[in-house]
């Protein structure tokens, strides 16, 4: 009697097991079909600034202090996107690389490079430090203002590209009668990108940035 009662129970357990096997297989297949997690964007900067550690030229006298304002830029260049243009297709369209970002907005990276270059031969002050110097010592240093107009990986063709940097610099002197523009100049520098992708664009833009900073510092030294 006992064996007759146990037989239906074993049969029911067997049926539930057989039903569970396909369900588990379907679940495993579904998990395998899920998309991978999105890749994390690669962060770039201009690399170590070895020139900033170089001593000033021997016998070169120190130059007067200068106030360096934050670099202005349009809204697109205030983000950390790494931008490129296809000059051979539509040079008017700025496109972002999907998985590449600057560690800081380009204007801030360029500001750091410019500050370090100026500081090799003179004291570089921020706006607040400049105002404090004027209050405490009556000295009002000239102010350098820079506007960043272009900062992109520019493709002349699918295989040939360059880093392109354009900016405008204005040197302002404050006096009793108000601010006076001492000089103003636009700069445009391009350097070849070693490869036609984000990493190559970064190298081209870093080289162009260092070159435009060198030109800008030389111009400031001549004007002042």
What global pTM score does this model have? 0.78
Provide the percentage of residues in the chain whose pLDDT is more than 90: 59
CATH class of 42-48+61-223: alpha beta
**pLDDT tens figures, 130-184:** 777 766 766 788 999 999 999 999 999 999 999 999 999 999 998 777 789 999 9
- From residue 23, alpha-carbon distances to 26, 54, 188, 208 in Å are 5, 69, 65, 60
- What does the domain layout of the chain look like in residue ranges? 1-34, 42-48+61-223
pLDDT level of residue 223 (50, 70, 90 thresholds):
confident
35 has a pLDDT exceeding 70: no
Cβ atoms of residues 145 and 67 within 8 Å: no
Q: Which residues of 161-179 are buried (b: 16+ CB within 10 A; e: fewer)?
A: bbbbbbbebebbeeeeeee
pLDDT of 7 over the 80 cut: no
- In this predicted structure, what is the pLDDT of residue 178? 79
């Amino acid at each position: 009697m006992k064996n007759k009662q146990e037989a239906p129970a074993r049969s029911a357990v067997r049926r539930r097991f057989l039903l569970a096997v396909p369900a588990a297989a379907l679940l495993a297949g579904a998990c395998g079909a899920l998309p991978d997690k999105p890749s994390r964007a690669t962060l770039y900067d201009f690399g170590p600034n070895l020139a900033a550690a170089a001593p000033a030229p021997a016998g070169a006298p120190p130059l007067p202090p200068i106030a360096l304002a934050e670099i202005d830029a349009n809204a697109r260049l205030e983000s950390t996107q790494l931008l490129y243009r296809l000059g051979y297709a539509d040079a008017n369209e700025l496109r972002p690389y999907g998985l590449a970002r600057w560690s800081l907005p380009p204007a801030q990276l360029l500001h750091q490079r410019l500050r370090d270059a100026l500081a090799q031969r003179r004291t570089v002050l921020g706006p607040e430090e400049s105002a404090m110097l004027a209050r405490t010592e009556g000295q009002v240093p000239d102010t350098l203002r820079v506007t960043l107009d272009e900062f992109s990986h520019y493709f002349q063709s699918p295989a040939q590209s360059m880093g392109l940097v354009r900016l405008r610099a204005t040197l302002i002197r404050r006096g009793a009668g108000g601010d006076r523009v001492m000089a103003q100049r636009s700069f445009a520098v391009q350097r070849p990108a070693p490869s036609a992708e984000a990493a190559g664009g970064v190298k081209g833009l870093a080289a162009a940035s260092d070159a435009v900073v060198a030109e800008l510092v030389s111009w400031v030294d001549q004007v002042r």
